[in-house]
Amino acid sequence: MDDGADRHLRELLDGTVDCVPGEQLAERVRRGERLRIKWGIDPSAPDIHLGHTVPMRLLRRWQRRGHRPVVIIGDVTARIGDPSGRSATRPQLEPEAVEANAATYLDQLFCLLDPAGVEVRRQSEWFQDFGLEGMLRLAGSVTVAQLLQRDDFASRMGRQHPIGLHELFYPLLQGYDSIAVAADVELGGTDQLFNLLLARELQASAGQPPQAIVTVPLLEGLDGHRKMSKSLGNAVAVRAPATEQYGQLMSLPDPSVGPYLRLVTDLPEARQTALREGMADGSVNPRAAKAEMARAVVSVFHGPEAAARAAAEFDRVHRGHGLPATIPEAPVLTGMEQDVRQVLVLAGLARSRGEAARLVTQGGVTLDGARVTDWRIPIAPPPGAVLQVGPRRFVRLGRAG
């Protein structure tokens, strides 16, 4: 391979995990082919989160090198729910919910991708009239034994957890997408490897050249160990306000900073390396590295000025012990003695009186800066009092009627 093509391929595959078949893809890149690069996303929730942006960034890299992104909006598979990594059957969504979610996705997708030259397709284009005959023909391309080789299916079978029959169709439908758009390459997370390999087999059965597959690492969520997911409550939405994004990212465990620098920021590689090495040898405070990472991420979605304001606001509240510039108001009766547990529930800061009691006992509740130490003692919050739970949750109590 000549030096230019070699550099091209290294750039396209930098930071990826799997590349199958590597030599075949390298040859196509060497010949200068303009490849169709498929990436699919299910509108199973209203927001795209940072975990989705990892393959999106790779897709943008291929786009900038002259290849054609083909984005599949999975408006059919979203109703099934991707079983990848699932320990239980995902509840099925109604068509109206899927459509409402899909309507919000394109603006979010194009926060990273250049709309020019992106081919956006919906699965309903080819599945709406697919019919029973088409489905049976597709199902006949694989065996049940093949499908049950998936780690998540095998694990659930071993634990005697139920597997819905509809879940077995998910990888088939995703694979057929590659046939429908004649994909040359498909990108996905490492948890998608089985589905991507199956798509190669389906394409070959349909007489198409099998796509190459390229996978990227999974982004850990805010808890620092599970895959980022809205359903797990550990996700950072790309449409979240700048102050919220910044605060969420500052809550990350220190070991997650390095992977986040690499996977979701546009910081130069040399700067990323300096921060990672500095944290490792003690010359860089992990909090400072985390703050630089958080500003870089927020800058992508809200701009550098908004990121700077979010950082200043975070420092003012969490280092200077000030109050946020804007605090939501809760219509809670004030000016009279009442049970602090009930106030926390009415203010939306606790889900139950039991949880409210635990928060107070753990020392996590303050009223106008004074710690509430005993949930058995009634409080009489004045109009406009600020109730705080933990480091980031504030509510201004409504005035008495």
What are 153-177's pLDDT values in tens digits? 667 667 777 777 777 888 889 999 9
Q: Where are the alpha helices (DSSP H) in 41-169?
A: 50-64, 77-80, 95-109, 124-127, 131-139, 144-147, 151-158, 165-168
Average pLDDT in the 96-120 region?
86
Which pLDDT value is given to residue 84?
Answer: 54
Q: Which of 263, 328, 274, 334 is nearest to 300 (CA)?
A: 263
Q: Residue 240, Cα to own-chain centre: how many angstroms? A: 12
Element spanning 38, H or E: strand 36-41
Write down how long the chain is.
401
CATH architecture assigned to 329-397: Roll (3.10)
- Written as one string, the DSSP assignment of 169-234 is THHHHHHHHHHHHT-SEEEEEGGGHHHHHHHHHHHHHTTSPPPEEEEEPPPB-TTSSSBP-GGGT-
- Looking up tokens 């950072």 gives 236
CATH of 3-220, one of 3.90.1300.10, 3.40.50.620, 3.80.10.10, 3.40.50.880: 3.40.50.620
pLDDT at 235 over 80: yes
pLDDT in tens, 369-401: 778 878 888 887 777 778 888 777 888 887 544
The alpha carbon torsion through 325, 330, 336, 342 (nearest 10 deg) reads -120
Scanning the structure block, which residue is given the tokens 């998936």? Answer: 150
Q: Cis peptide before 21, with omega less than 30 degrees from 0?
A: yes
The percentage of the chain sitting over the pLDDT mark of 70, rounded to a whole number, equals 90
- DSSP three-state, residue 73: strand
CA end-to-end span of the chain: 78
298 sits in which H/E element: helix 286-302
The SS3 of residue 14 is coil
Per-residue model confidence (pLDDT) at position 399: 53
Question: Could you tell me the residue ranges of all domains in the chain?
Answer: 3-220, 240-318, 329-397
Q: Which of the residue ranges 49-58, 188-197, 252-261, 315-324 would you say has the lowest mean pLDDT? A: 315-324
The CATH number of 240-318 is which of 3.30.390.30, 1.10.240.10, 3.40.50.2000, 3.40.1280.10? 1.10.240.10
310 burial level (CB within 10 Å; 0-12, 13-18, 19+):
buried
pLDDT of 59 over the 60 cut = yes
CA distance 92 to 165: 13
Whole-angstrom CA distances from 149 to 146, 186, 320, 357 are 5, 21, 54, 47
Q: Which helix (H) or strand (E) holds 40?
A: strand 36-41
**How far is residue 275's CA from residue 297's CA, in Å, rounded to a whole number?**
15
Segment 261-304, tens digit of pLDDT: 999 999 999 999 999 999 999 898 999 999 999 999 999 999 99
pLDDT at 330 over 70: yes
pLDDT above 90 as % of the chain: 37
Q: Find the helix packing angle between 286-302 and 242-250, rounded to 10°.
A: 150
Per-chain mean pLDDT for the chain: 85
Residue 73 sits at φ, ψ, to 5 deg, of -90, 110
